Structure 1
Amino acid sequence: MPSPHAAAEIISRLNDPHYARWASQIRRTGGCRQPIHLRGHVEHIDPATGALLHRYSTRTEPDGVLRVPCKTRRASRCPACAEIYRADTYQLIRAGLVGGKGVPETVTAHPCLFVTLTAPSFGTVHARREKNGTVLPCHPRRDAATCPHGRVMSCTARHGADEMCLGEPLCPDCYDYAGSVLFNALAPELWRRFTEALRRRLAKLAGLTLRELREQAVVSFAKVAEYQRRGVVHFHAVIRLDGPDRPASPPPAWASAEALADAVRHAASAVAVTSPAAGEEPARVLRWGTQLDIRPITLDGELTDQAVAGYIAKYATKAAECVGTLDRRVSPLDDLDALPLREHARRLIAECLRLGGLEEMADLRLIPWAHMLGFRGHFSTKSRRYSTTLGALREARADHMRAGAVSTGRLPLFEEDTVLVISEWEYAGKGYSAGDAILAAALTGSRLLDSGGGYE
């Protein structure tokens, strides 16, 4: 049952003469949990005559504001907006595999691999292990050693898929929390060095210099970061070989899937990044983990273009929630013991705050990204010409919506590129009041009440 205050807000909104317009705004946000409130106006002027062709102002809107979707990528914050981001990412990834969205269909003949780069071990953690559909014991050890903290380093339990202990170390006091957060912080740099080493290896295999390689073959990629339950990121990447006029031209005959796989294996094992030394904290040489997965992408085989695009798009909307951390920034002044955190996540965040307070670690920005356990990179990235862009997909959607507005008479018909557009907007808040949240959920069929937020 809504509170008396919320019930009063619902009654007031339903009796508002502008309710129909308010409901229309809410529906157009697509079920956004935390729509942005804008106040302002936009004018379309004929530059030749100075005549005002069309004017829109929020003064006539309910509450004097325009509500627009927040457009976050995080499903934990807004499932509706994250779903749009997921769908766009799916189209972007798949276009680079089968063509479309400005990419020629001949790209399907280019060598292409699905690569997973993992993090190294920072200590033994509880895991769910399976073989041929049978769940195996976690970490059975017949003659298990006892760690310096008195814990036997063995676990014979057959863990369920949703058990809270998954990813938790067998001995938290033995676990290398500093190494874990430093790996997350330096993972983007490790990826950059990996791509450079990949190109160097391909050039060496072909007997070319790097400049000569660019004239014959180009490496294109799209990747996404995924958190493992132990709190470290690993990367899933689509890596493709193109000709110099990427992606329209095919690569030369020597640039095969086998050569690309060889280069991936070499680059993954060759690159490293060194963390800064700070006080008693020594410098660490961080590398990729030993688990490296390289699989070809096919149109009708075990790993299809649709499966890969769906997999990457799914993780593009996630963050570190599987580790049990927060979906907001943490301040050094916060009482970590009072926050709803898993103990493992609490220790990782505490380590970010500790290391981030060291002057030598300032460039890693561990404190602002403590809630992300040190990782501050973009979750999904791509090389420039892998395929289309998210911006192009959003522009196409905006053009479609504009055409719909013209066809229904909400906008006059004129050429956008021949009209002077003058606009002025200011931020006026976000989210819903308690009563509006209930009405909006009913209008859109969404779970707005789970947002945990409110009106600002």
Structure 2
Amino acid sequence: MPTSATNAHAIHGMIARLNHPQYDRWAAQVRKCGGCRQPVRLRGKVEHYDRATGRLLHRYSTHLEPDGFLRVPCKTRRASRCPACAEIYRADTYHLIRAGLTGGKGVPESVATHPCLFVTLTAPSFGPVHTHRDGKPCRPRRDAPTCPHSRLLSCMARHSADDPRLGEPVCSGCYDYPGSVLFNSVAPLLWKRFTDALRGRVAKLIGSTLRDLRRLVTVAFAKVAEFQRRGVVHLHAVIRLDGPDGPTSTPRARVETELLTQAVRQAAGAVTATIPATTGQPARVLRWGDQLDVRPITLAGELTRQAVAGYIAKYATKAAESTGTLDRRIHPLEDLTALAVRDHVRRLIAECFRLSEDESLAHLRLAEWAHMLGYRGHFSTRSRHYSTTLGEIRVERIDHLKADAVAASRLPHFDEDTALKIASWTYAGSGLSPGEQLLTASLTGHFGGRV
């Protein structure tokens, strides 16, 4: 909690900034950053010259900016670090996913007629955990057994949605912590093998070979990873079948949604990842959990294209910190008992470090990804021809803002063919002072941090 001295320091800093002669320019930078919690400070200049004559057309330098810096958004996707920038990332992801479902952003509207599914691949069970069941008892068992640690494997509590016990093992001594960590680590490999197997299953079901499949059908997808409260990932994916030229073409083979559903179920059940035996642990064969959810995406009803795009985009801004862990790397020499995390999460982190000491698991880099509970994959990925890219969406937004500024005479207009641009930038730090945090909150209304 902030102390009175900290609050006094923040208020003093806020007053100093308000009285600064360049406050208006600083406030304009803050608004342009959209309320970014940790804006990047840059020092440098940009010059435009006439290519033919060498005449200087325009010069911008941070020398005249407040404190001699230009502040730009951090552009992180993590809502825990910067809610403002994460919201932009979420919106961009929404439009990327939606374009692959309904068209737009260079994707034809006819893509909405292609077979398309919303698939959730879950993790297997590593031991019973407390769960929320809409007012029903957590784990009611009339003849519940007692585990080797003398714990009754039953729970009659009706947990609320914000109960801190959600995701905690009924018995931590019985919970398979090594299995949970190792599954997270191989989840990206399981996903790759799933997509490879899916192409093979589609080819088999339409009577084609895998080699000839590309001339008939292409499999497009976009997926996002979500951490459950128990500390394991499961994946949500949009899977779509296109023709040989991607979303601009329809499949040349007769492919229905039912066939794609069958292929997804077969592929999910077929793929595995083997973990070699370690000290005190036998070899493991890991696979997706039994709770496979496969549903067609519809134009109307509960699972609409807009609903799916919004659902996936929501998780694109979250990571393992949603389970109660940290959003930064943890050094192996840190005192784990001092970390502000749940005991269950602390044991998962400790298991990452313990397993990392085995040479046969060195390729999993578990110590490096202990803060992610072993998961080292990308949280949001797409196949090459699913739709547009986040980069293209960002360029489109930048061009729109630049055109706006030129139209309002805030920026000069240059012909890119006749003007030479020379830029020089150096990094000068990031973040806001406590006083600037307070002012940013009042100026933008989009600041979730604490002073």
Q: Give the TM-score normalised by the residue count of structure 1.
A: 0.95
Q: Following the alignment from structure 2 to structure 1, what is the Cα–Cα distance between the partners of residues 428 and 281? A: 46
Matched, 1:279 2:276: no
2:205: which partner in 1? 205
Aligned partner of 1:40 among 29, 40, 44: 44
Matched, 1:300 2:304: no
1:215-273 deviations in whole A, cap 9, x for unaligned? 00000000000011111000000000000011101113522111110100000000001
Q: How does 1:405-416 map to 2 (within 5 A)?
A: 405-416=405-416
Shift of 1:7: 3.2
Q: How does 1:251-330 map to 2 (within 5 A)?
A: 251-330=251-330
**SS of the residue aligned with 1:159?**
coil
**SS of the residue aligned with 1:235?**
strand
Q: Following the alignment from structure 2 to structure 1, what is the Cα–Cα distance between the partners of residues 114 and 169? A: 42
Q: Following the alignment from structure 1 to structure 2, what is the Cα–Cα distance between the partners of residues 127 and 92? A: 33
CA contact (8 A) 1:137 1:156 kept: yes
Q: How does 1:33-432 map to 2 (within 5 A)?
A: 33-130=37-134, 135-416=135-416, 418-432=418-432
Shift of 1:417: 5.1
Q: Following the alignment from structure 1 to structure 2, what is the Cα–Cα distance between the partners of residues 65 and 114? A: 46
**SS of the residue aligned with 2:225?**
strand
Matched, 1:13 2:22: no
CA contact (8 A) 1:440 1:448 kept: no
Shift of 1:112: 0.3
In structure 2, runs of 5+ residues without a counterpart are none
**SS of the residue aligned with 2:99?**
helix
Shift of 1:337: 1.1
Q: Following the alignment from structure 2 to structure 1, what is the Cα–Cα distance between the partners of residues 418 and 286? A: 55
Q: Following the alignment from structure 2 to structure 1, what is the Cα–Cα distance between the partners of residues 161 and 417? A: 55
Shift of 1:3: 3.6
**SS of the residue aligned with 1:423?**
strand
One-letter amino acid matched to 1:85: Y
CA contact (8 A) 2:11 2:435 kept: yes
**SS of the residue aligned with 1:136?**
coil
CA contact (8 A) 2:217 2:253 kept: no
Aligned length: 447
1:338-361 deviations in whole A, cap 9, x for unaligned? 111111101111101111222222
CA contact (8 A) 1:437 1:448 kept: no
CA contact (8 A) 1:366 1:374 kept: yes
Structure 1 residues 19 and 53: alpha-carbon distance in aligned structure 2, compared to 1, 3 A threshold: same
Shift of 1:6: 2.9
Q: Following the alignment from structure 1 to structure 2, what is the Cα–Cα distance between the partners of residues 286 and 243? A: 33
Q: Following the alignment from structure 2 to structure 1, what is the Cα–Cα distance between the partners of residues 250 and 172? A: 51
Structure 1 residues 306 and 399: alpha-carbon distance in aligned structure 2, compared to 1, 3 A threshold: same
CA contact (8 A) 1:6 1:435 kept: yes
CA contact (8 A) 1:32 1:448 kept: no
Shift of 1:48: 2.4
Q: Give the TM-score normalised by the residue count of structure 2.
A: 0.96
CA contact (8 A) 2:36 2:447 kept: no
State the identity as a percent. 68
Shift of 1:279: 2.8
Shift of 1:290: 0.3
Shift of 1:446: 2.6
**SS of the residue aligned with 2:221?**
strand
CA contact (8 A) 1:438 1:449 kept: no
With 44-53 and 88-97 compared, the bigger mean Cα shift is at: 44-53
CA contact (8 A) 1:34 1:69 kept: yes
CA contact (8 A) 2:52 2:418 kept: no
With 167-176 and 320-329 compared, the bigger mean Cα shift is at: 320-329
One-letter amino acid matched to 2:240: R
Structure 1 residues 262 and 82: alpha-carbon distance in aligned structure 2, compared to 1, 3 A threshold: same
With 110-119 and 6-15 compared, the bigger mean Cα shift is at: 6-15
CA contact (8 A) 1:214 1:244 kept: yes
One-letter amino acid matched to 1:328: R
**SS of the residue aligned with 2:437?**
helix
In structure 1, runs of 5+ residues without a counterpart are none
Q: Following the alignment from structure 1 to structure 2, what is the Cα–Cα distance between the partners of residues 417 and 151? A: 75
Structure 1 residues 418 and 89: alpha-carbon distance in aligned structure 2, compared to 1, 3 A threshold: farther
CA contact (8 A) 1:31 1:448 kept: no
Shift of 1:43: 1.6
Q: Following the alignment from structure 1 to structure 2, what is the Cα–Cα distance between the partners of residues 365 and 129? A: 36
One-letter amino acid matched to 1:369: W
Q: Following the alignment from structure 2 to structure 1, what is the Cα–Cα distance between the partners of residues 417 and 85? A: 29
CA contact (8 A) 2:206 2:253 kept: no
Q: Following the alignment from structure 1 to structure 2, what is the Cα–Cα distance between the partners of residues 174 and 78? A: 37
Q: Following the alignment from structure 2 to structure 1, what is the Cα–Cα distance between the partners of residues 131 and 314? A: 22
With 209-218 and 275-284 compared, the bigger mean Cα shift is at: 275-284
One-letter amino acid matched to 1:269: G
With 146-155 and 236-245 compared, the bigger mean Cα shift is at: 146-155
Q: Following the alignment from structure 1 to structure 2, what is the Cα–Cα distance between the partners of residues 382 and 279? A: 37
One-letter amino acid matched to 1:433: S
Alpha-carbon RMSD across the aligned residues, in angstroms, is: 1.4
Q: Following the alignment from structure 1 to structure 2, what is the Cα–Cα distance between the partners of residues 37 and 287? A: 45
CA contact (8 A) 1:369 1:375 kept: yes
Q: Following the alignment from structure 1 to structure 2, what is the Cα–Cα distance between the partners of residues 138 and 377? A: 32
Structure 1 residues 180 and 7: alpha-carbon distance in aligned structure 2, compared to 1, 3 A threshold: same
CA contact (8 A) 1:324 1:345 kept: yes
